[in-house]
Structure 1
Amino acid sequence: MAIFSDARAEDTRPIKSTTGADISLAARTNALTSPTSGLAPTFLQANLVILPSRYASDFRLLCARNPVPCPLIAESISIGCWSSVTSFIPGLEGAAILSDCDIRRDVSKYIVYKNSKIMKQGCLDILDEWTDDYVALLIGCSFSFESALIVAGLPPRHTALNRNVPIYRTNIPLCPAGVFTGSTYVVSMRSYKASEVEKVREITRPYTATHGEPIAWGWGAVKRLGIEDIDAPTWGEPPLTQDGRPLGEVEGKDHDVPVFWGCGVTPMEAVARSGLEGVVMTHDPGHMLLLDCRDSDIVPAACVA
């Protein structure tokens, strides 16, 4: 089941030295329509799921039972509130995570589901859909540790090429919770030299609020995860080698090996597969909600290279 089309929009991104608040404002004013990987370095990014309140407790339980792909970091401070969140990150108050926000407009692209089927996608806002019965839930995003990889000299290839990260559905079952049953892990992929994988694991391991270290790596992991074709991601754009070829052309080689992380599309997939009644909204994969806090706020300073 496809969650979104991956048609590329013209890149209207602000300069990369902006803050999370600047990116949110650009999305709010429709000045930003591209994926957010690489924007506002060191500012956290979040996946967004907006549910009728009757489903919120089951969704929280889903996240608690599957913390690697679904790290819940914040939610609406009250039912129907789109302008303030409560934080689940120790030591950070809700305003420190996200202030001056409008969750209905601060994502560059949204998806709207009705009865678990896509009704609209690529939406610039969800003003018409929002009611006072919704709860917005924020899940950590792996884009948030990419700046640490860049500082360490290990930039993910898609950021340099302004491409959306490749994302794959896997065969790893999620632990079910309430109405959320029958779904599987979703993973994002960044390729590295085999000799770099341990360093990549070390750098990303402390970022548990944004998926942490990889769950699998190497060419053997492709089959173990149930991925049929590395060059045909379920979402995002096909991965490329260092010299711009399809990654699958170097299968088995150590100079380009796939590395897989838990991905915040996982709860979106769980929502789509659950048969929920009513209208549900999410961000469009790759188009994240930018936050006010930084990676140094969730990881000890000694761990932020």
Structure 2
Amino acid sequence: MSTSSPKSDAVESLLSSLEQTDEYLNPKKRAAGEPQDEGQGQDYEEKTEELETKIRDRLSSLKTLTSTPPPPPPPTPNPTPNPTPNPPPTPDPTYLGAHTFPPSPTPPSLLRLSCRSLTHTTPTNGLCPTYLQTNVVSLPSSSAFDFLLFCQRNPKCAPIVDVVERGETNPRHVIKGHADIRTDCPSYNIYSSGVLTHTSIPDVRPFWRPDLVTFLLGCSFTFEAALISQGFRIRNIDEGKNVSMYKTNLRTRDAGVFKGITYVVSMRPFKEEDVRSVIEITRRYPNAHGGPVHVGSPESIGISNLDEPDFGDKCVVLPGEVPVFWACGVTTAEAVKGAKVEFAITHKPGCMFVTDVKM
């Protein structure tokens, strides 16, 4: 069954009427000897010829219109629901090794397993980009409330991510499946009455006590992936080193037995013109220390020599760069020492617990 649209029916009707008019006006189509109306003169003939020309032109254009098929509609482009983002900047091969994150980074679960099996015992900066890394402090429940209060009053240096209940070793709120807080950092330190008695311990299960409460505190390694994705270089990662960390004269707020504690800061150098952007990016990560606490002159915060970090590795500040300082979770280890807490286990500086929390 054929169908026609109202538009095509109207055109065909008009063509039919015009063809009849054309047949009447065309002298060759008239019957010979057809009578003429009286009074027709030359003026009438001229008007008739003019009208005939207009109608014939209209008829011709309409015939062309109906005989030419309409062009096909343009193809509809396939929608792209998730456009591919712009790739990160290509590393400058002249820049101190031109290291960036590996294209297929190790997931946190495999890194934790590598720590547990003692195959990974080095710092975690540059590993598992975009996942939340944390400091670890395990101390007796008798000191836990004062420490919790210290963290709450000093969120820049001790941003609480999770508190693992007394005696528990699986931080289930920040991992998928199972983890063990006693084995899943690359390395640990142990303190007795404020004195560092053991360092670089890869497995602290022999030292574990059932009265320990564990605090997980955000680490600045977390926001390094965001900086790199925007084209900024992290020199200690480029050089395969731990971040530089320094004791300062910046005071924390007292809480219980934790009194008179000063900040430890991490330092990363950046070009002076990039500092504002670096601040804007890192301040979006308040649970990983957020924006820096100081930019520029290290002497003004009590650091006498950048070439001699108190923790981590030396990082050179090149001409045209300025040192940028962030609050550091090692402040909490200094708090444990300063308060002479009876017993405590912490991560070794730079050897973080990597969670499954995606940032």
Assess same fold via TM > 0.5: yes
Deviating 4+ runs (over 4 angstroms): none
The equivalent of 2:349 in structure 1 is 285
Does structure 1 residue 227 correspond to structure 2 residue 307?
no
The equivalent of 2:189 in structure 1 is 111
The equivalent of 2:136 in structure 1 is 48
Deviation at 1:192, TM superposition (A): 0.4
- The count of residues paired between Structure 1 and Structure 2 equals 258
1:10-39, Cα deviation, whole Å (9 max, x unpaired): xxxx99611111111110110101110000
Deviation at 1:155, TM superposition (A): 2.4
The equivalent of 1:141 in structure 2 is 219
Say if 1:142 and 1:16 are closer, same or farther in 2 by CA, change over 3 A: farther
Give, in whole Å, the separation in 2 of the partners of 1:291 and 1:272.
Answer: 26
Say if 1:58 and 1:161 are closer, same or farther in 2 by CA, change over 3 A: same
Q: Choose 1 or 2 for highest CA Rg.
A: 2
Tell whether the 8 Å contact from 1:84 to 1:99 is kept in structure 2 after alignment: no
The equivalent of 1:33 in structure 2 is 121
Deviation at 1:99, TM superposition (A): 3.8
Q: 2:337 aligns with which of 257, 263, 272?
A: 272
Tell whether the 8 Å contact from 1:157 to 1:191 is kept in structure 2 after alignment: yes
1:125-184, Cα deviation, whole Å (9 max, x unpaired): 111111210111000000000000110111210011110100000001110111111210
Paired residues for 1:1-305 under 5 Å: 17-76=105-164, 78-85=165-172, 94=173, 96-97=174-175, 99-218=177-296, 220=297, 222-240=298-316, 247=317, 253=319, 255-277=320-342, 279-295=343-359
Give, in whole Å, the separation in 2 of the partners of 1:131 and 1:230.
Answer: 38
SS state at 1:135 partner: strand
The equivalent of 2:6 in structure 1 is none
Point out where structure 2 has 5 or more consecutive residues left out of the alignment.
Answer: 1-101
The equivalent of 1:91 in structure 2 is none
SS state at 2:273 partner: helix
1:41-100, Cα deviation, whole Å (9 max, x unpaired): 111100000001111111110011101111011011x21000134xxxxxxxx1x44641
Say if 1:16 and 1:61 are closer, same or farther in 2 by CA, change over 3 A: farther
Greater relative contact order, per chain length (Cα 8 Å cut-off, separation 6+): 1
Give, in whole Å, the separation in 1 of the partners of 2:127 and 2:183.
Answer: 18
Which is helix-richer, 1 or 2?
2
1:85-125, Cα deviation, whole Å (9 max, x unpaired): 4xxxxxxxx1x446411001001100011111111100011
Say if 1:193 and 1:84 are closer, same or farther in 2 by CA, change over 3 A: closer
TM-score of the two chains, using structure 2 as the length reference = 0.70
Could you tell me the percent identity over the aligned residues? 40
Give, in whole Å, the separation in 1 of the partners of 2:203 and 2:229.
Answer: 33
Give, in whole Å, the separation in 2 of the partners of 1:162 and 1:75.
Answer: 31
Give, in whole Å, the separation in 1 of the partners of 2:285 and 2:176.
Answer: 19
Give, in whole Å, the separation in 1 of the partners of 2:287 and 2:146.
Answer: 20
Q: Which amino acid aligns with 1:223?
A: E
Give, in whole Å, the separation in 2 of the partners of 1:118 and 1:186.
Answer: 17
SS state at 1:58 partner: helix
Q: Which amino acid aligns with 1:59?
A: F
SS state at 2:206 partner: coil
Say if 1:185 and 1:16 are closer, same or farther in 2 by CA, change over 3 A: farther
Give, in whole Å, the separation in 1 of the partners of 2:177 and 2:351.
Answer: 19
Give, in whole Å, the separation in 1 of the partners of 2:300 and 2:244.
Answer: 17
Q: Which amino acid aligns with 1:61?
A: L
Give, in whole Å, the separation in 2 of the partners of 1:178 and 1:99.
Answer: 35
SS state at 2:189 partner: strand
Of 158-167 and 97-106, the range deviating more from structure 2: 97-106
1:238-285, Cα deviation, whole Å (9 max, x unpaired): 112xxxxxx3xx5xx5x11100001010111111111122x2100000
Give, in whole Å, the separation in 1 of the partners of 2:217 and 2:289.
Answer: 9
